[in-house]
Structure 1
Amino acid sequence: MLMLFRMPRLTMLAVAGTLAAAPAWAQERPPLPAMPSTGGVGTVPSQPAPLTEEQKVAITQAVKQTNRKVTVPPGVQAHVGAELPASMELYMLPDLALADIPEAKPYRYTVVENRVVLVDPTNMRVVEVMAK
């Protein structure tokens, strides 16, 4: 059985009047909070963090352990400041190297003439060339 309750008309008008009279600021929604970082590549520092010789050796050894076959287009020059072709494939540094050298996290690597080359992936510029 469905029972309907009757609200006195005066009470209904009072409730409706209270809702209609709410100030404008009470009806606006607060701004949404900023989105947290997703951990993407993000911005790369304009000047790379200088790597010590020990860090360079550690990166080179970690990359050699991956034994990745890298194909380099003809005519690619691997010197600091050089821009690599956009078609050139870059790789993330091995986890072992990143765990010990967090400064290298924004960079990717490739191998040119058996030398490990660190590259800024946002502009394809060489930031470091490791010794053979």
Structure 2
Amino acid sequence: MRKLLNIAVTGFYLLGATGVTFAQTVVVTPEQETVVREYVKKKPIASINLPGVELNVGSALPDTVELHTIDAPDVQYRYVVIDNRTVLVDPGTRKVVRVLQ
């Protein structure tokens, strides 16, 4: 009985860890990406340089970087233009969720 309980606990642990991984996955729909691209074209901002910061999904931006609001429904992210690339950022974590070319 104890062995069965250990197996069950291990299984629930693995399921929980998998659930956490899925919860951290950010999905930017094609519709959202289109809205963002159109918004950025209409309201361009100056590109900034961030030496030493890699623009990868999951990278956190420093607090000194001003994040700009996207005034569109269903878009919860903010944006900034770094090295002439539009970067979508989760405002709560300041992590990059998408780099648009």
Structure 2 SS opposite 1:127: strand
Report % sequence identity: 37
Are 1:127 and 2:93 matched, yes or no? Answer: no
TM-score, length-scaled by structure 2: 0.64
TM-score, length-scaled by structure 1: 0.51
Tell me how far apart the structure 2 counterparts of residues 114 and 70 of structure 1 sit (CA, whole Å). Answer: 5
User: Whose Rg is larger?
Assistant: 1
Tell me how far apart the structure 1 counterparts of residues 47 and 66 of structure 2 sit (CA, whole Å). Answer: 8
Gaps of 5+ in 1: 1-44
In structure 2, what is the equivalent of residue 90 of structure 1?
Answer: 67
Tell me how far apart the structure 2 counterparts of residues 78 and 60 of structure 1 sit (CA, whole Å). Answer: 18
Which stretches of structure 1, 4 residues or longer, exceed 6 Å deviation after superposition?
Answer: none
In structure 1, what is the equivalent of residue 57 of structure 2?
Answer: 80
Does the aligned pair in 2 maintain the 1:110–1:118 contact within 8 Å? yes
In structure 2, what is the equivalent of residue 41 of structure 1?
Answer: none
Alpha-carbon distance change, 62 to 79 in structure 1, aligned in 2, over 3 angstroms:
same
Are 1:117 and 2:87 matched, yes or no? Answer: yes
By how many angstroms is 1:46 displaced?
4.1
Q: Residues 98-109 of structure 1 correspond to what in structure 2 (within 5 A)? A: 98-99=72-73, 102=74, 104-105=75-76, 107-109=77-79
Superposed CA RMSD: 2.0
Does the aligned pair in 1 maintain the 2:87–2:98 contact within 8 Å? yes
Does the aligned pair in 2 maintain the 1:72–1:88 contact within 8 Å? no
- Structure having the higher helix fraction is 2
Are 1:52 and 2:29 matched, yes or no? Answer: yes
Corresponding residue pairs, total: 79
Tell me how far apart the structure 1 counterparts of residues 92 and 29 of structure 2 sit (CA, whole Å). Answer: 24
Q: Which amino acid aligns with 2:69?
A: M
Tell me how far apart the structure 2 counterparts of residues 85 and 77 of structure 1 sit (CA, whole Å). Answer: 11
